Structure 1
Amino acid sequence: MLLLALYYLLADCLLMGQVFYYRTVYPQHHIEEIVVNDYGAEESDLAISRHRKSSSSSSSSASSSSCNDFMNERTSLLSTDSNILNSKSRASSTTIQPPQSLATRNVVRLFFVSSILLWTGLLVGSALFFFGSGQTKVDMSQWHLIPQLLGWGSALLYCVSRIPQIMQNFRNESVEGLSLVMFIFSVIGNITYCVSIMLESTEPTYLLINYPWLLGSGGTLFFDFTIFFQFYMYRQTTIGKK
């Protein structure tokens, strides 16, 4: 179990490193490249056109009025170039979020309601199983405060870790970039982890001591199956983008 926890820690650190890199370094370079290339292309075309205009103006007329008109036109073009650069920079750095469809809004409401009902029923049922009347008395002398607090903190963070990704999928109405195989392996690993604990013993005291880890692994199954449903719901969008 310790080796499994260390493996999860290493994998999560690698994933966070990838997220940090692609959200900070890569998008910034991408935006700068688009702005510079587009503006550079326009600037070179305008420079050629200006050179041709200046040559034709100097050869056709040398009057001071024509020179003034040319300088005014040059100033106007430079102002226009500056506005184009600013608008492109704002458009590249700003992401317009499309409105959610009615189906997505209904699914989000269903997700919140089912999550509240599921977790309420799970916690109430667990309390009745361990401390209800007619049940075998749990030996609380084997229950240690510090390990249990760490275990409950781990279970809470592990369960809610899926929620930001689920909500982002709902906002984008897409699962583009997610690996379905990763979530399949995660579900299989969490199921086998819970089964390994329960095969060791089903005695209430043993289960209560290991309950945070059972809850952390088994509780994420609901969120993993929600992501599976998102893969099914947005499969056409993902295929279309490919």
Structure 2
Amino acid sequence: MVAADNLSSVLGWISIACWIVVYSPQIYENYTLQSGEGLSVLFVVIWILGDLTNVVGAILAGLLPTVIILGLYYTSCDFILLSQIYYYRYKKRRLEAHAARAGELEDRVPLLSNEERPEDIVPVRIIVIRYLSALAFVVLVGVGAWWITSGDKQDNDLLDSTEEGARWWAIQFLGWSSASLFLGARIPQILKNFKTRCEGLSPALFFFSIFGNTTYALSILVKSMDREYLIKNGGWLAGNLLTVFLDMFVLCQFSYYRYMEENDARMISG
């Protein structure tokens, strides 16, 4: 039992470490491109709603303050992504309006262009090596955080077993609503990827999301396989495990389009 609790705690800390860094690559990608058009607005908006319901559910469930603070951190990162999209759109419109007034408006290359120079295209294998190295670092950080806090006695149950009545049902409703929102958010992004060929989208966002969701779900399953416990945590489990499959689909999209770009680059240079 102690071993299961320790493993559950380690997996939980690794999941937290993943979610702390998950937004950074996409925020940096948007900043580098001076565009947020790789993201679907609907994807980000629904993700915000999912995080908000998750935070409210955590507060009602009486989870640890660190869990609530992390939920607020995730929500703030969502708003940063959304504000980037609209800020760079506004900036682009201002630049075009200024150029038009100056009589200098020319055919511009879109911020998201599929015509990259061959030397600018990073091979998929290099990206995989980079992400695996980053993943190893995140795992070490998670294990280190667990070791530092292992002396603190904490209750890792997602929901207290004494929760009953209206409050219990409210928590369940929020948990399943959050799961549905996280799942539904991926659909508009997947559809947008077919149009943009994943240009402007950081695969790291979905790579760390997959690992963060997987380790979080495992931390619950390792803790206990009791039927009542799994039912109480069903919303969180569903939200984590089901989104993993859609995130994997996004990574498959990215790999496919990057493979096509590499082929085109070889044909041009050859």
Q: Provide TM-score, normalisation by structure 2.
A: 0.48
1:116-156 deviation digits (Å, cap 9, x = unpaired): xxxxxxxxxxxxxxxxxxxxxxx9x8572111111111111
1:135-189 deviation digits (Å, cap 9, x = unpaired): xxxx9x85721111111111111111111111001123x1111111221111111
Q: Where does residue 94 of structure 2 map in the other structure?
A: 29
Structure 1 unaligned regions, length at least 5:
42-87, 93-138
Percent identical:
36
Matched, 1:10 2:81: no
Identify the structure with the greater helix proportion: 1
Matched letter for residue 85 of structure 2: V
Q: Where does residue 170 of structure 2 map in the other structure?
A: 146
Matched pairs, number? 144
Q: Where does residue 215 of structure 1 map in the other structure?
A: 238
Alignment of 1:136-175 (within 5 A): 142=164, 144-172=168-196, 174-175=197-198
Is contact 1:152–1:212 with CA below 8 Å preserved after alignment?
A: yes
Distance 1:30 1:237 in 2: 32
Structure 2 unaligned regions, length at least 5:
1-66, 109-160, 266-270
What is the DSSP-based 3-state SS (H/G/I as helix, E as strand, rest coil) of the residue aligned with 2:195? helix
Which of structures 1 and 2 has the larger relative contact order (alpha carbons within 8 angstroms, sep 6+)?
2
Matched, 1:231 2:259: no
Distance 2:174 2:230 in 1: 16
Is contact 1:155–1:212 with CA below 8 Å preserved after alignment?
A: yes
- Offset of residue 195 of structure 1: 0.7
Q: Which of the two has higher C-alpha Rg?
A: 1
What is the DSSP-based 3-state SS (H/G/I as helix, E as strand, rest coil) of the residue aligned with 1:177? coil
- Offset of residue 238 of structure 1: 5.3
Matched letter for residue 26 of structure 1: K
Distance 2:237 2:227 in 1: 13
Distance 2:182 2:233 in 1: 15
Distance 1:19 1:40 in 2: 25
1:70-108 deviation digits (Å, cap 9, x = unpaired): xxxxxxxxxxxxxxxxxx8xx98xxxxxxxxxxxxxxxx
Distance 2:184 2:261 in 1: 25
- Offset of residue 236 of structure 1: 4.5
What is the DSSP-based 3-state SS (H/G/I as helix, E as strand, rest coil) of the residue aligned with 1:2? helix
1:7-64 deviation digits (Å, cap 9, x = unpaired): 32121121111112123x1221132134234x259xxxxxxxxxxxxxxxxxxxxxxx
Q: Provide TM-score, normalisation by structure 1.
A: 0.53
- Offset of residue 230 of structure 1: 0.7
Matched letter for residue 83 of structure 2: G
Q: Where does residue 113 of structure 2 map in the other structure?
A: none
What is the DSSP-based 3-state SS (H/G/I as helix, E as strand, rest coil) of the residue aligned with 2:199? coil
